[in-house]
Structure formats: structure tokens, C-alpha cells
Amino acid sequence: MKAKQIRLATRPNGMPTYETFKWTEETVADPAQGEVVLKSLYASVDPYMRGRMNDRKSYVEPYEVGEVIAGGVIAEVVMTNSTQFEVGDIVIGNLGWATHQIAHEDSLRKIDPSKGPLTNHLGILGMPGITAYFGLLDIGKPAAGETVVVSGAAGAVGTVVGQIAKIVGAKVVGIAGTEEKISYLKHELQFDEVVNYKSENFQEELKAACADGVDVYYDNVGGTVSDAVLRLINKYARIPVCGQIALYNLEKPDLGVRVQPNLLVNSALMKGFIVSDYGAHFEEAITDLAKWLKEGKLQSKETVLEGFEKLPEAFLGLFKGDNIGKYLVKIAEPSE
């Protein structure tokens, strides 16, 4: 069986481009004991993958130049030499950007398709949803009536953060970069206020939106957006630091403002976290998220491009704001 792969061609300096990737075609071997052959159905593009393109120590290993790009993938078992998986099983794992590939049974988890749309397992019921859940509830700890600000509000994590904050009874202020996103957050997700960080009067508009100050700031982007929010924090504010996408493609470090005096005088807590810190508790998050989805208290939003060859376009699009909700690429239909 022939398969296509997308590999890291070269380490980007600054913003990645199409030249960051290269395509190959190889034959997939027969699976050894404990292995299966997979057909990829959906692949996730995620901002953290940009960090893996640097040759720098982080919480995940860098990709090697020439290596197949790996990320969250939903796939179907098409050949098996494993006692754990049958042909036709739908699985999820940290897998390669490849149309077909071999994987070891230990690296896969079976998905129950009756739990809802497959794609939700890469989005609201997967890594981004779980990240939103723990960052907000365990670190942000919002109370009813408090003001929660979320940046990257229209993205995979941000849409879930804002909706959970509404469930808790908080006032939700979203920050996003296009009018389409602002309209979606206001009218579909019922965020209380939404501000465009690209507006010339961003700081004033944000201040007006946060009339009672900021009790929780869920930081997905960092940079000048976060500088603006931090000027508005209240006493005992909580600031879960989830992502810093505004900084991922900088060619030189950005020193920004020093935040400690502001944290000090407000007795505020700022805490970074990685979703895997909560690995032992993922099922608790998935159970609550699935329940809220079923009850209609949460909505899932996804932007899906069709075709394996669209993976680089989708990945690059994360840094241009092309997506609303979880950004995915559909690679193939499941077999009948």
C-alpha cells in the first residue's frame, strides 16, 4: 500500500511557510506483532506544533528535520496484527501527517462513535476542550458575577473557556481578531462583550467592556493583548497562562512590560500550565464536557478543510486567524 506523508523540510525562522514542509510517498509495510495499519480520517492542526519545529527543549520533543509531522489524528484500522484492535475500529492518537501509517497498539485509544461526531474528539471533547476546562476551573476558579476575559476567544480553546464561564454564571468578555468572530461570539455563544484587539481603540474598548475590572484572565495569546488586559485586573485576580501564540513566530524575544508590580499590588495569581499536568483527570473533564454538550449548554464549533494536501494551509492559517473553533483537516471518509 502506498501512502503520502508530510515532513518537516526545514526549521522555520519566524513565520513558517509552505517551504517548511515537504511531501513524500512511501510503501506501508505489513504490521508486526502488536501493530496495526491505519487510514487517517481527520488531523488536527495546533499552535503548539510550531514550538516543535524549533530545535529547543520544551515540554514536547522537537520534530527532527525530515521527520513526518505528528499531531492529533483520528484514523481507521484497515489491517491488524494486534489483539486489541479490529479492522474497522476508529482510533485516536498522536500520529503522523500521513494518509496511511503503521502504529503500535500502545499509542492508540479506541473512540466510541456513538458518543457524538468523531471530530469532537480532537476538539471540544479532546485536548483543546480539556485544556479549557482545567485552565479555567482549576486555576481561574471563576465565581458567578465575576468578569472573565478570554483572549483567542473564537478559537478551539477560547470558545470552550467562554462557554464554561457562562455556565458558571460569570460575565464573559472575549477578545478576537475579526468582525465575523466577534459576531459569532456575541450572537451564537452569547458572550456578554467581545472586543477586537485589532481596533485602534482596543485598550479603551476593553476597559469599557470590563466595567467592573477583570477577575479572571484566561490568556491564550500573550503579547500586547495580554498587556492591555493585565492593566485592568482586580484584587485577587487569577490568570491561567494557557498559550502565547502572539510570540510563537517572533524572530527576537519580546520583553514586553514587567507584570510583577501589578500582580503584587493586586494579590493576583498568574500560573502557567500544560494540559498534560491534568493527565490523571482527563475523564472527569470529558464527562462534564459531554454532559454539557448533550444538555445544549455547550456548542461545538469546527472549521474543517477537505483534503490531505490542505494540512500545511490549515496549520499556517492558525497564525492568520483563519479558523473559528477547532481547526481540522478531513483526510478520508470512514469505510462503510
Q: Site residues (CB under 6 A) for ligand NAP? A: 46-48, 128, 131, 152, 154-158, 176-178, 181, 220-221, 223, 225, 242-246, 273-275, 318-319, 321, 323, 327
CA gap 267, 311 in Å, rounded: 44
With a CB cutoff of 8 Å and minimum separation 6, the contacts of 308 are 4, 6, 40, 97, 99, 329, 331, 332
For residues 90 and 121, the answer to whether their CB atoms sit within 8 Å is: no
CB of 102 to ligand NAP, least distance (A): 27
Find the shortest distance in angstroms from Cβ 114 to ligand NAP.
26
What is the Cα 199 distance to its own chain's centre? Answer: 25
Contacts of 218 (CB under 8 A, 6+ apart): 132, 135, 136, 140, 148, 149, 150, 151, 158, 161, 239, 240, 242
CB nearer to ligand NAP: give 133 or 327.
327
- What lies within 8 Å, CB to CB, of 30 at 6+ separation is 37, 79, 81
Cβ 293 to ligand NAP, closest distance in Å?
17
- Residue placing its CB nearer to ligand NAP in the complex, 31 or 325: 325
Ordered DSSP codes for 195-248: EETTSTTHHHHHHHHTTT-EEEEEBSS-HHHHHHHHTTEEEEEEEEE---GGGT
> 187: which DSSP letter?
I
**In the complex with ligand NAP, which residue's Cβ is closer, 36 or 137?**
137
Minimum gap (Å) between residue 183 Cβ and ligand NAP: 13
Query: Least CB distance from residue 112 to ligand NAP, whole Å?
Result: 23
Least CB distance from residue 335 to ligand NAP, whole Å? 29
Count other C-beta atoms under 10 Å from residue 50's C-beta: 20
Would you say 156 or 298 has its CB closer to ligand NAP?
156
Which C-beta is closer to ligand NAP: that of 77 or that of 246? 246
Q: Of 134 and 308, which CB lies nearer to ligand NAP in the complex structure?
A: 134
If phi > 0 it is left, if psi is from -120 to 50 it is alpha, else beta; for residue 20 that is alpha
CB of 318 to ligand NAP, least distance (A): 5
Select the residue whose beta carbon is closest to ligand NAP and give its number: 155
- Which residues neighbour 257 within 8 Å (Cβ) at sequence distance 6 or greater? 227, 230
178 vs 299 by CB, closer to ligand NAP: 178
